[in-house]
Amino acid sequence: MADFSISFRSLTMEDLPRMLAWVNQEPLLQIWNHGKTTTLEELEAKYAPRIRGEESVSCYTILLDGEPIGYIQGYLWRDYPEYSQHMGLTEESASLDVFIGDASNRGRGVGTKMLVQFMRELIFNNPEVASCIITPEVANVAAHRAYEKAGFRHWKTMEHPDEPTPVYFMRVGRDELPAM
């Protein structure tokens, strides 16, 4: 794997047209949108409040050697108490959602390094957060493998109120991140 630099910058309204192109192509069309094409207006309606800081989800553009290649967001499960209760969380936990939009950067180790770096810099920078819990769909085997490389382990499988199929709940503790 070649040496590369990953960084994150806050998502801006100017990022949304690029994001639109990414989410409307395979495999993201199926994974991120469940097969539904998204419009720029829909993206603006969803992400503008987050960009303005009106919602508790922190959104970032992923940069590889300074160039945008994807999207990542982080949030605390306590801000979604119905989900926390549904999952049976007993510790302070955060979550993230992510995709690499630029297909040329998939399958070359970018995802693992990016996930670990994001958790170190932006998830576990909150000393109260004991774990990060993610919820990929059961059928998304590629995501399971990528998350496992970043230290996540299967915790349980269950229905998620916002997903059409069962999801894997995968967990990594702050002291379980792999060295990168």
pLDDT the model gives residue 1: 43
- Does pLDDT of 2 surpass 60? no
Inside any domain, residue 116? yes
pLDDT in tens, 127-148: 999 999 998 988 888 889 989 9
Q: Tell me the pTM.
A: 0.91
CB distance 157 to 167 below 8 Å: yes
Tell me the C-alpha distance between 29 and 103, whole Å: 13
Q: What is the mean pLDDT of the chain?
A: 91
Phi-psi region of 18 (alpha: psi -120 to 50; beta: other; left: phi over 0): alpha
Residue 120, domain extent: 6-176
Residue with tokens 């302070």: 92
Which tens digits make up the pLDDT trace of 26-35?
A: 888 887 777 8
Q: Write down the pLDDT at residue 106.
A: 83
**Of 146 and 7, more confident:** 7
The CATH number covering residue 171 comes to 3.40.630.30
Is 1 a member of any domain? no
pLDDT beyond 60 at 68: yes
| pLDDT for the residue 138 | 87
Number of domain units in the chain = 1
In this structure, is residue 31 part of a structural domain?
A: yes
Residue whose C-alpha is closest to residue 169's, from 146, 152, 150: 152
pLDDT digits over 159-174, tens only?
A: 877 777 888 899 999 9
